[in-house]
């Protein structure tokens, strides 16, 4: 990989790792350790009124302890797609870099465009998840920063390779034009020679 494309590959890999970590499924269920601690506390009490108070405190603590993150249903709705998009971004970066530019520049540009499209879609998913309070604004900001790093680098790569591809297309067209002119001249020469 060229230096900048190598760095883009590293950034895309970091994005995939962060996406996997950020989309982990969290459960609203109380952990077995928490249940055990509550039961031990209740068992140590002698008065039923104290047991009621401990149970009430435990319920309030559980209600306040809503975890940030994806439930099973929001993971199926958003999280799995987000992981797949991040994985595809990494695959497209490597596929574009492994495409021989001089002979397959259109294919390479198409793959870079796919990276840019994937980044835009992932940003939309992140916004949806923040709007629905699945993830915090802080986590969304970090995640957006990682996506934007990849998107900016891919955009620069697209711009540079787009210019190079235009130059190669123009050169190829000039060669075809010269060949056409040569064929026409040869046809005219043969026609004049036959008169």
Q: What is the pLDDT of residues 13-47, one digit of tens each?
A: 999 999 999 999 887 566 677 777 777 777 777 77
Does residue 65 carry a pLDDT above 60?
A: no
With beta carbons less than 8 A apart as the criterion, state whether 150 and 185 touch. Answer: no
Q: So what's the pLDDT on residue 78?
A: 95
Does residue 124 carry a pLDDT above 70?
A: yes
For the chain, give every domain's residue range.
3-28+68-160, 30-65
Does residue 72 carry a pLDDT above 80?
A: yes
CA 95 to each of CA 2, 113, 120: distance values in angstroms, whole numbers, following the listed order: 13, 12, 19
Mean pLDDT for 109-114 is: 90
Does residue 172 carry a pLDDT above 70?
A: no
Q: So what's the pLDDT on residue 108?
A: 82
Mean pLDDT for 171-179 is: 70
Q: Predicted confidence band at 4 (pLDDT cuts at 50, 70, 90)?
A: low
Does residue 171 carry a pLDDT above 70?
A: no
Q: So what's the pLDDT on residue 62?
A: 65
Q: What is the pLDDT of residues 96-105, one digit of tens each?
A: 888 776 667 6
Q: So what's the pLDDT on residue 39?
A: 73
For domain 3-28+68-160, the CATH class is: mainly alpha
Does residue 163 carry a pLDDT above 80?
A: no
Q: So what's the pLDDT on residue 1?
A: 41
Q: So what's the pLDDT on residue 191?
A: 76
């Amino acid at each position: 990989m060229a230096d900048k494309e190598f760095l883009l590959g590293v950034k895309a890999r970091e994005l995939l790792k962060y996406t996997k970590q950020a989309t982990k499924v969290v459960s609203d269920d109380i952990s077995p350790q928490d249940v055990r601690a509550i039961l031990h506390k209740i068992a140590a009490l002698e008065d039923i009124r104290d047991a009621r108070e401990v149970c009430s405190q435990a319920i309030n603590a559980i209600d306040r302890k809503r975890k940030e993150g994806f439930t099973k249903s929001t993971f199926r709705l958003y999280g799995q797609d987000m992981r797949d998009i991040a994985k595809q971004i990494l695959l497209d970066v490597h596929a574009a870099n492994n495409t021989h530019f001089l002979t397959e520049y259109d294919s390479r540009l198409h793959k870079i465009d796919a990276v840019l499209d994937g980044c835009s879609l992932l940003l939309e998913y992140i916004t949806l998840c923040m709007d629905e309070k699945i993830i915090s604004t802080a986590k969304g900001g970090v995640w957006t920063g990682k996506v934007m790093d990849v998107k900016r680098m891919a955009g620069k790569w697209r711009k540079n390779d787009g210019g190079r591809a235009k130059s190669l297309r123009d050169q190829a067209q000039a060669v075809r034009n010269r060949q056409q002119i040569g064929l026409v001249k040869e046809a005219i020469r043969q026609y004049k020679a036959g008169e």
